[in-house]
Structure 1
Amino acid sequence: MSLLLLLAVQLAGFAVVRASIERNARAQIARELDTDGRVWQRLLEQKAERLRQGSALLAADYGFRSAVSSGDTQTIESALENHGARIGAAVTALLDTRLAVRAISSPGGGMKQLSATLAQVVPALAAEPAGSQIAVVNGLPHQFVMVPLRAPLVIGWVLMGFPVGQPLAEEMRQLLAVDVAVRVADGKGGFSVPVSTLPEASLKTLRAAGSGVGEIETQRGTLLVRRSALSHLGAPSEALLLRSVDELVAPYRQLQWLLAVITAAGLLLFALGSSAMARRVTTPLRALLVATRLLSKGNYSVPMEHTGRNDEVGDLARSFDHMRLDIARQQSEIRDLAYRDRLTGVPNRERFRGAVMDALRTDPVLGHRLAVLVLDLDRFKHVNDVLGYAFGDRLLQAVAGRLQPMVGEPGDMLARHGGNEFALLLHVTDAQAALQIAERIARAFETPLHFDDQTVDLSASMGIALWPDHAVDADMLINRAEIAMYGAKKRLAVALLYDPALDSSSAQTLSLLGDLRRAVEQGELRLYLQPKVALQRGAGAAAEALLRWQHPQRGLVPPMEFIPFAEQTGFVRQLTLWVFEQVAMLLAQSLARTADLHISVNLSTRDLLDPELSLRLGAILERYQVSAGSFCLEITESAIMDDPQRAEAMLNRLAQQGFKLSIDDFGTGYSSLAYLKRLPVNELKIDKSFVLGMQSGGGDAQIVRSTIDLAHNLGLTVVAEGVEDAALMERLRAMACDEAQGYHISRPLPAEQFLGWHAGPGAAFVAAP
């Protein structure tokens, strides 16, 4: 009976180990296949980018463009064939501006199927020129890209494609030791496999597998399959990534066989030996069984017993203990990566949150407080932009080094909260003690940092929240420290203690943002126009488009209550497109065309940095058949300076489309004069603070006059905002200001009333000769 019991225990242990190994192996392969899938997609993207670069090189070739312009078909076909051969493209083609094929080169033949495939691929690429498309040609998936041919306007498109073939699969095999197969539906319920790194025997099994195959059994053992769709254009195709379960489990099989041998020897000795020998064998094996169960549950802290014995059981125990230590070390490294910031070496946001929760669960010392201090470095984005991200990383490491001495009490912690933000958990007596630590940090930052030949002056904004004074849980405590930090940054203070007044309007703000997302669909937005009049000789009507929100419960919501938050969330781009489309609808009316109406539309920073802005505006112009010259796009100086290079590129594209460009609130920003000569702007708008200041007799009149002279010297027109009375209007006219707007002329009017105003009261504002 004891022999049978020992046999059952050993078999159970063997089964637990086998099942654990099998389960862990499959889980590991699943993770590796996830990585393989991402690498596969990255390889496709790299191939597409190289093909796109090659296409762009051909499109930029002067001889090729000349041949296209002159219609030299022979030269075009020769250039397509030669360039495609150089970069390994299987298909090269030239399309006209209507996306019709003018010339094509395909060494593989099959022009009929290729033409049918291109009829599906070209429209998809035209909808997303920066992307790529995969379609099946002659039974093999091909990846296509398309780039414009400019001279300087678009005179055609260059299309190129390369096969997703055996070289790409072999590259994946060499990189990650993963098998790759490409399956293409044959239209009859079956599949062809034109590309594969599998042996022929395994390939036959794969061909016979169904469409939703997850694993296959081959001579090499069980292969787990991860499917990655390639294309739904034409014949569906997919890439299959395959890894062997048996290859991964093989090393552990030897360990299992060793366990089996030791078990058999133990049974034999038990049968032939005495009860003392039985105890020497049964007890350690049972201990090993318990240990394997602990390992399968993820408990690696309990050391293996009997590792000091010089027999088979000792060997097995040591093998298991080595495995336990290896797995425990790997788990420790994973946990360290999960809870530590790799750049600075301090705990990360998640670890900091856990530390705050742990501190709240314990009983603090009577009369003490828990404080969370959140610190945000000032001007860090400027450091990255000017000195580079590598320098910014060194700066963050140095900041962590200066903050570490501020953490002195047991249980205190310094963590990187993300980006250029750090957080400190402090055990303090009261709020004054926390503020004193903030002052020490500020003094520590007074000493500049020196890196090589660069010197950086540090400053930071800090917010502090205390438990239990300001919050009852960890998340609220951290959140309110962040609110205090943003309050300090807004007030230009070094440190600020949390005050409920800092976020008293948060609930109302969130409610407004939720309502704003439905305002466009429910027709709650209103377009208003504020007239502009010419102060010198001029004709036509001009106005600035303004947005109003008629909320069903709150009434007319002022723009300053929702526009700033729309800019923070990015929703301002939808608002800008709504205003632009409403203006385009107005300009499309016959009365507006007769009045030669020009309307200004404001663009935010989010709009200006949107790479698709020019395309979206162009689509609206085409839909309503309105000229871009009827629009003036107003951009603030701060929007330009947030990212000058991207802003300049977008402004150039808008100017090429024919839009008139204006710098709004000129004089309230900074550094814009350095870009003024380079930017394709047509107009400056003087901020109303300077115009209204002319009444006080200070230096604002000289500023306005100098701005007008500067703009005219640069060939720009000038618009003055804030004209509140006739005297101001006449002074601006005498200074040669071109246009004016303000309440003296008219308050903002609903769009439907503007044309009537222009024909009636607005006709009185006529420029003096």
Structure 2
Amino acid sequence: MRFRSLEGRIATLFLVLIVVVQVLGLFVIQQGIDANARASIGTELANGEKVLRKLIEQNAQKQRFSAQVLARDTAFVQAIGNDVGGDHATIESALVNSGRRARADLTMLIDGERAVMVASGMAKSNALELLVAGLLDQAEQNDGAGAIAVVDKRPFQIVVMPVKAPITIAWVVMGFAIDRQMAIDMKELSALEVAILTRAAGGRWQPVEATLAPALMAGVAQALPAAPPKSAFDLEIDGSKFSARLVSIGADGGGPGAHVMLARSIDLATAQYTSLERTLIVLTVLGIIVAAVASVLTAKRIAQPLRDLAATALQLERGDYRGQIDVGRDDEVGALAKAFGSMRDGIAKREQEIGRLAYWDTLTDLPNRARFVMLLNEALEAARAGGGALFVLMMDLDRFKHVNDVMGHNFGDALLRQVALRLHQQVLGSHPAARVARLGGDEFAVLLPGVDLAGARRLAAEILRALELPLSLEDQTVDIGAGLGIAGFPAHAADAEALLSMAEVAMYCAKQRNDGAVVYDALIDKASEKNLSLLTELRKGIERDEFRLHVQPKLSLDTGRVVGIESLVRWCHPERGNVFPDDFIPFAEQTGFIRVLTRWVLEQSAALCRDMALRGIHLKVSVNLSTRDLLDQELPEKIMDILRRHQVAPGSFCLEITESAIMDDPVRAQQTLERLHALGLDLSIDDFGTGYSSLAYLKRLPVNELKIDKSFVLNMENDAGDTKIVRSTIDLGHNMGLRVVAEGIESEAVWRLLAALGCDQGQGYFMSRAIPGEQLADWIGQWRAPAALEPA
């Protein structure tokens, strides 16, 4: 079980939580035990102090009674009263005997003059005499008094009792040592350790008696603080911990004197909890072990199904949907497993559907292009391994676009299904190992393994004959045909894409020739390679700025003044030199690259127009639009963006459109032209007279200019028919309010003839060939019209 795994993390989390909880529990319990023990010890010490004082008081009462018995003894009183001669022997004897009976450690008789008459059991002590002197009045008033005094560094309980006859004639004093017996009695009553200590004025403690061992008693005096604490305190003696309390019981003169230390061993106080703590520790360890086992088992119970699901997910990743998922559990993991199983089934169904959509044509239920390529690759591997050959037949239906346009797309789809069925039956009837596929649109392909070229030709001829038979759909009979190309391995190519490409080249060649199936030949493909190379070079030409803007001036035929220019493009190829438009413009129109070229010409023309305006030369710039340009619905916005950036007015531009461009899609062309006209741009019909049905649309188009094709202008000086056509076109344009421009003027005679016919403007080699745009200003400065046309 790894820590970074889910199972390891779950088990570790449980263990950490349990250990933390158990350790915290032990800590809290130990703290509680210690707090309870100390509270209990504190209570015991407080009660012990009370017991001590009660014991001292009881001893004092007992001792006062003994002294009282002596003080009231008649013989003793008489002896004191008769003691005139100072013979104290009788008195001393009586005092000593009474003291012995009372177990007093010292006795004393104070006479009426408050002087010591007799004393026994003690040496002279000034401190004791001072203490007794202070108790005499109290004893007389209260019929006895008591106190504790330190005599010879030992504490004594002193009792003073007056002797009256009937007045006070003396005082009996008895002293009882506070000894070990009192400490033992105190321990028996309170279960506390007791130590009786005296303290000299210098603050040094002197042990007197104690219930502690003598070895510990020496350490008590050293461990006690110099200033007696007022509350309980901890005391450590030879490694043993005690909680102690000092009780003051007497004084030596005016300074600190006798104290009793009450102590309770902390270790003994907590000993009763030790077994409980050990039990708790054992239970904690057992709990941790049990919890560890339970957490591991729980983690495995949680993680094992997840590992199983992960293994199933890996199977799903490999595309294996056969694994069984255990869904017997009723918890969340079981719900996850059920959801996982549902997801697996859903993915399997969707993948099956995606695979069908990805590799099968939904219309004809034939393999599509992607599936056909897979089948072709498999067949190529088999052919390489066995040294065999295979052929690919690709066909494209004839006139299918016309069927769609006339009959509708639903009819076209039904036609494709009929063609697919006929192909499938025809091919599989003679070649069971062959595969038929629809590549897209109206293109079909046949994979023909294990045959030679003659066999491929025979099947191709059978397919074409089968397709020539009319198809009946929805009470309509449709005649179709197809162009069919053939390419094979290893004769033509060694990989699938190349084979398909070569079969397609042969197919388009067959559609152009219209004379049956065509087998691929490298000569056929040269034009295609040239075109591909040309498209790549065109793109690089734009990126490398290889194109140049040339212009041909347009002049007013009646004044000879330059009024406009037509923008033309030239290609300065780094290897081919100057490439003329006829060599690349048609190809650009076929591939759609013409839109890029048109945008480039518009940009350069707008820049030239702005530069000429800054020089004071205001010209109308004409730019040719192709069919693809005209069908671009965003063309007006693109042109206006260019004009705004170069700060050129829309009226400075004239867009020339050929009749064929309009006729390809008249509706969309008219919509685009109307939007361009609304922006203020002039529109011109270029090459007028060479198209078809243009007059039907001319009256509806928002044009400003007609441009007569040069084929009518070049020879009009010698051809009366051309002159009539030009005259009619000029009249037509003027009658419709249009400006008429003639192109192809190559002589002064044609110029003058056009001017006589009323043509407005003209352009041609007679005035100027196309020149670089940067030379336009110089050419205008040098231009001179024929003398008869020069303005006054």
TM superposition shift of 1:699: 7.2
Of 623, 629, 647, the match for 1:607:
629
2:375 corresponding residue in structure 1:
355
Moved more, 739-748 or 347-356: 739-748
TM superposition shift of 1:572: 3.1
Look up the SS of the partner of 1:546 in the other structure.
Answer: strand
Counterparts of residues 244-255 of structure 1 (less than 5 Å): none
RMSD across aligned positions (CA) = 4.6
Contact 2:389/2:489, CA 8 A, preserved across alignment: yes
Contact 1:513/1:562, CA 8 A, preserved across alignment: no
TM superposition shift of 1:332: 4.1
Runs of at least 5 residues in structure 1 that lack an aligned partner in the other structure: 1-10, 25-291, 305-319
Contact 1:541/1:758, CA 8 A, preserved across alignment: no
Q: Which amino acid aligns with 1:458?
A: I
Is 1:654 aligned to 2:679, yes or no? no
1:74 corresponding residue in structure 2:
none
- Change in 2 beyond 3 A, CA 1:644/1:576: same
- Change in 2 beyond 3 A, CA 1:644/1:446: farther
Look up the SS of the partner of 1:589 in the other structure.
Answer: helix
2:366 corresponding residue in structure 1:
346
Is 1:394 aligned to 2:414, yes or no? yes
Deviations 1:231-287 (A, max 9, x none): xxxxxxxxxxxxxxxxxxxxxxxxxxxxxxxxxxxxxxxxxxxxxxxxxxxxxxxxx
Runs of at least 5 residues in structure 2 that lack an aligned partner in the other structure: 1-297, 325-339
Contact 1:377/1:420, CA 8 A, preserved across alignment: yes
- Change in 2 beyond 3 A, CA 1:387/1:539: farther
Counterpart CA distance in 1 for 2:639 and 2:739 is 24
Contact 1:527/1:545, CA 8 A, preserved across alignment: yes
TM superposition shift of 1:521: 5.0
1:626 corresponding residue in structure 2:
648
- Change in 2 beyond 3 A, CA 1:591/1:468: same
Counterparts of residues 204-603 of structure 1 (less than 5 Å): 296=316, 298=318, 331-363=351-383, 369-385=389-405, 387-408=407-428, 409-427=431-449, 431=453, 434-435=456-457, 437-447=459-469, 449=471, 451-452=473-474, 456-489=478-511, 495-504=517-526, 509-520=531-542, 522-535=544-557, 540-568=562-590, 570-590=592-612, 594-603=616-625
- Change in 2 beyond 3 A, CA 1:552/1:14: farther
TM superposition shift of 1:638: 3.6
Deviations 1:198-253 (A, max 9, x none): xxxxxxxxxxxxxxxxxxxxxxxxxxxxxxxxxxxxxxxxxxxxxxxxxxxxxxxx
Contact 1:428/1:434, CA 8 A, preserved across alignment: no
Counterpart CA distance in 2 for 1:594 and 1:326 is 75
Q: Under a length normalisation based on structure 2, what TM-score does the superposition of the two structures give?
A: 0.51
Counterpart CA distance in 1 for 2:375 and 2:678 is 56
- Change in 2 beyond 3 A, CA 1:355/1:710: farther
Is 1:754 aligned to 2:763, yes or no? no
TM superposition shift of 1:601: 0.5
Q: Which amino acid aligns with 1:620?
A: I
Deviations 1:174-196 (A, max 9, x none): xxxxxxxxxxxxxxxxxxxxxxx
Contact 1:415/1:423, CA 8 A, preserved across alignment: yes
Contact 1:592/1:755, CA 8 A, preserved across alignment: no
Counterpart CA distance in 2 for 1:435 and 1:766 is 73
Of 674, 680, 686, the match for 1:664:
686
Contact 1:572/1:606, CA 8 A, preserved across alignment: yes
TM superposition shift of 1:444: 4.3
Contact 1:607/1:613, CA 8 A, preserved across alignment: yes
Deviations 1:310-361 (A, max 9, x none): xxxxxxxxxx999999976665444222211101221100111112212222
Deviations 1:527-573 (A, max 9, x none): 10123344457854222111112233443233344444544554433
TM superposition shift of 1:506: 5.2
Count how many residue pairs are aligned between Structure 1 and Structure 2.
480
Q: Which amino acid aligns with 2:357?
A: L
Q: Which amino acid aligns with 2:679?
A: Q
Contact 1:531/1:544, CA 8 A, preserved across alignment: yes
- Change in 2 beyond 3 A, CA 1:327/1:575: closer
TM superposition shift of 1:657: 1.0
Q: Which amino acid aligns with 1:576?
A: T
Q: Which amino acid aligns with 2:646?
A: Y
Counterpart CA distance in 1 for 2:410 and 2:566 is 44
TM superposition shift of 1:721: 3.8
Counterpart CA distance in 1 for 2:720 and 2:395 is 41
Contact 1:530/1:746, CA 8 A, preserved across alignment: yes
1:635 corresponding residue in structure 2:
657
Look up the SS of the partner of 1:583 in the other structure.
Answer: helix
Counterparts of residues 4-19 of structure 1 (less than 5 Å): 18-19=305-306
Contact 1:300/1:325, CA 8 A, preserved across alignment: no
Look up the SS of the partner of 1:357 in the other structure.
Answer: helix
Moved more, 692-701 or 391-400: 692-701
Moved more, 326-335 or 372-381: 326-335
- Change in 2 beyond 3 A, CA 1:713/1:459: farther
Counterpart CA distance in 1 for 2:313 and 2:300 is 8
TM superposition shift of 1:684: 3.4
Look up the SS of the partner of 2:362 in the other structure.
Answer: coil
- Change in 2 beyond 3 A, CA 1:724/1:537: closer
Look up the SS of the partner of 2:448 in the other structure.
Answer: strand
Deviations 1:423-449 (A, max 9, x none): 222358555654555555444454555
Counterpart CA distance in 1 for 2:755 and 2:439 is 55
- Change in 2 beyond 3 A, CA 1:325/1:516: closer
2:138 corresponding residue in structure 1:
none
Counterpart CA distance in 2 for 1:418 and 1:515 is 29
Counterpart CA distance in 2 for 1:430 and 1:474 is 18
Contact 1:303/1:321, CA 8 A, preserved across alignment: no
Deviations 1:588-634 (A, max 9, x none): 23568744422210122332233322122112222333222221111
Q: Which amino acid aligns with 1:341?
A: D
Q: Under a length normalisation based on structure 1, what TM-score does the superposition of the two structures give?
A: 0.53
Contact 2:742/2:759, CA 8 A, preserved across alignment: yes
Identity %: 53
Look up the SS of the partner of 2:494 in the other structure.
Answer: coil
- Change in 2 beyond 3 A, CA 1:522/1:471: closer
- Change in 2 beyond 3 A, CA 1:419/1:625: same
- Change in 2 beyond 3 A, CA 1:755/1:590: closer
Contact 2:554/2:562, CA 8 A, preserved across alignment: no
Counterpart CA distance in 2 for 1:379 and 1:353 is 27
Query: Which of these two proteins has the greater Rg computed from alpha carbons?
Result: 2
Q: Which amino acid aligns with 1:342?
A: T
Counterpart CA distance in 1 for 2:516 and 2:741 is 39
- Change in 2 beyond 3 A, CA 1:429/1:389: same
Counterpart CA distance in 2 for 1:461 and 1:568 is 21
Q: Which amino acid aligns with 1:344?
A: T
Look up the SS of the partner of 2:480 in the other structure.
Answer: coil
TM superposition shift of 1:520: 4.0
Contact 1:377/1:421, CA 8 A, preserved across alignment: yes
Contact 2:744/2:763, CA 8 A, preserved across alignment: yes
Counterpart CA distance in 2 for 1:762 and 1:13 is 102
- Change in 2 beyond 3 A, CA 1:698/1:294: farther
Counterpart CA distance in 1 for 2:365 and 2:536 is 40
